[in-house]
Chains A and B, each alone.
Chain A
Amino acid sequence: MTDAIKAEAIFDAMGAVLTRWTMGSAAAPAASLWRAELGDDPAEAELRLLALSGQFLGAAVVMEPAAALRVLPGIPALALPTVQEALRPLVRRILAAKKQAQVGTELVHFLAERGCTTHPADWMPAADDDDAPDIYAPWRDWAAIAGSESATRQQANDHLTADNWEDFWPAARKAALAELRRRDPSEARKVLESRLGSENADTRLRLLSLLSERLSDDDITFLEGIATDDRAPKVKALAASLLARLGRGPAAGEDTAELAGFFSVKTKGLLRRSRVVQAEPLKTPAQVQRRKALFDGADLASLCGTLGLAPQELIAAWEWNLDHAADMALINLIVATGTDAHVAQAADAINEHDATGLVVTLAPRLTSADRARHAEAAMNAHNIRFEQAQLIAGPAAQLDNPLSTPAGKTLLAALQREDAKPSDQVAELHALGLLASREGARQSLQRLTAAGLLQGDPRLDMLRLNAALDDKGAKP
Chain B
Amino acid sequence: MAIDLKAVEQLATDQSSLKAAAGLAKPAKWSGVGGSRDGALIWGECAGSGANPYRVMADLRDLGNKCTCPSRKFPCKHVLGLLWLNAEAIVPFTPADTPAWVSDWLGRRRGTSAAKPAINAPPDGEKDLRAARAVEPDVVEDPKDVARREAQAARRNEETERAILDALDALEQWIGDQLRMGLSGFIDDATARCRRIAARLVDGKAAVLAGRIDELPSRLLALPAGDRPRGAVVELGKLVLLARAFRATPRNTEIRRAVAASETREAVLADPAALRVDADWEVLAEQVQTRRDGLVSQTTWLLNLAATGPRFAMLLDFFPASAGRRGSVFTPGESFHGELVFYPSTQPLRAMLVRRDAAQDRPPLEWPAPDETLSDALTRPLLAEPWAIDVPLLLPQGRIARDAAGHTWWRSADGITTLPVAADISGILCGTDLTRTAAIWSGNRLAILAAQTPWGRIGGHD
Contact = CB atoms under 8 A, between A and B. Distances in A.
B389 to A, nearest CB: 10
A55 B237 contact: yes
B249 interface: no
A325 interface: no
B237 A72 contact: no
Interface string A17-53: 0100111101100000000000000010011101111
B431 A73 contact: yes
B330 to A, nearest CB: 14
Interface in A258-313: none
A449 interface: yes
B127 interface: no
A62 interface: yes
A341 interface: no
B40 A146 contact: no
Interface in A370-420: none
A461 B104 CA distance: 11
B418 interface: yes
A261 B202 CA distance: 87
A120 B428 contact: yes
Contact of A455 (B36, B104, B184): B36
Interface string B226-244: 0101100111111011001
Interface stretch (A63-71, A104-112, A213-221): A63-71
A24 B185 contact: yes
B431 A454 contact: no
Nearest to A23: B182
Contacts of A66: 403-405
Given A422-B106, A422-B111, A72 B431 contact: yes
B430 interface: yes
Contacts of A122: 462
A22 B100 contact: no
A58 B179 contact: no
Nearest to A75: B431
Interface stretch (B13-21, B70-78, B451-459): B451-459
A70 to B, nearest CB: 5
Contacts of A142: 431
Interface stretch (B283-291, B293-301, B314-322, B378-386): B378-386
Nearest to B433: A74
A53 B229 CA distance: 12
B37 interface: yes
A186 B108 CA distance: 55
B444 A63 contact: yes
B436 interface: no
A64 B386 CA distance: 23
Contacts of A52: 237
A26 B181 CA distance: 10
B109 A455 contact: no
Contacts of B431: 72-75, 120, 142, 146
A51 B428 contact: no
A57 B386 CA distance: 12
A50 B175 contact: yes
B110 A51 contact: no
Interface string B374-415: 000011001000100000000000011111110101010000
Contact of B455 (A22, A48, A121): A121
B182 A65 contact: no
A458 B105 CA distance: 9
Interface in A407-440: 421-423
Nearest to A70: B402
Given A21-B229, A72-B430, A121 B237 contact: no
Contacts of B400: 71-72
B388 to A, nearest CB: 10
Contacts of A51: 237, 240-241, 244
B419 interface: yes
Given A54-B236, A71-B399, A455 B418 contact: no
A455 B37 contact: yes
A156 interface: no
A454 B40 contact: yes
B293 to A, nearest CB: 24
B176 A47 contact: yes
Nearest to A85: B456
Contact of A421 (B111, B180, B455, B456): B111
A75 B107 contact: no
A421 B401 contact: no
Smallest CB-CB A-B distances: 6 pairs: A54-B237, A456-B98, A24-B182, A75-B431, A458-B107, A69-B401
Given A456-B103, A459-B107, 6 more contacts: A24-B185, A67-B405, A68-B403, A423-B107, A423-B110, A457-B107
